[in-house]
Amino acid sequence: MANNTDLGAVKMIRAIIVDDEPLAHQVLLHHLTAHSNINVVGQYYSAKDALCVLAKPGIDLVFLDINMPELTGLELLKALANPPQVIINSAYQEYALAGFDLNVTDYLLKPVSAPRLKQALNKVCQRAAQPLDQQPQCITLKVDREKRKFVLDTIEYIEAYGNYVKLHQAQNTTLATATLKQLSEQLADTFIQIHKSYLINKNKVTAVNHENVELTTGAIVKIGKSYRELSRTLL
């Protein structure tokens, strides 16, 4: 079986398909015959059925639908402490930003074409080949009663909320158990405190004046008076 993936020299990638549509399974399996380094080791027709498998190590890649009964694809991702790489395979474009907030590798619209799948698999291989020190930096926080991993580059800013913090991403705001003081120390390389209630991602700043910081999503965050001198170093 020929391998058309540009980075075919990488290791064999163990994958599963999670989609409630049998036709979606058939299309993916047909296209994947051209990629011998992708080994589909399981097929699941509900996110709930896949949850137990993904809770354990051993899966490198998930082809994941969004709209499924009982548990959606996004809910499945949020439930995983250490998710593998994910290629979302959906008929709905409007979930793309929410997917990328959860650090999915790529987002494909149904019906999936062979060239577009090849492009997504190249991204998977590139990530798999990255040294650990070049992979996305993450933080694990308690959300409700579960631990959830967040990729730092997806977080725009963090807001104090009593004994909790609000993590603001492009499409999601998540309440997590932590204090701003704890996170300001833990994330000092990536985030900077500009107000007693706000930490911002230094890589997301697009504009600064003496009162506010503007971030890539267009969010405006106020600069506290005692932090104005420090904020001048942002741009």
d(CA 56, CA 120): 24
- Same topology, domains 13-132 and 138-231? Answer is no
pLDDT for position 5? 44
| C-beta separation of 100 from 156 below 8 A | no
φ, ψ for residue 156, nearest 5 deg:
-80, -55
| For residue 10, pLDDT beyond 80 | no
pLDDT digits (tens, 9 = 90+) for 134-147: 666 888 888 987 77
Cβ atoms of residues 62 and 84 within 8 Å: yes
- The whole-number pLDDT of residue 149 equals 82
What pLDDT was estimated at residue 84? 93
Q: Which residues pair with 158 in a beta bridge?
A: 167, 199
Q: What is the pLDDT of residue 44?
A: 98
* Class level of CATH domain 138-231: mainly beta
DSSP annotation of 113: P
- The CATH code of the domain at 13-132 is 3.40.50.2300
Over residues 188-224, the pLDDT tens digits come to 889 999 999 999 999 999 999 989 999 999 999 999 9
pTM given for the model: 0.64
What are the extents of the domains in the chain?
Answer: 13-132, 138-231
Report the chain's mean pLDDT, rounded to a whole number. Answer: 89
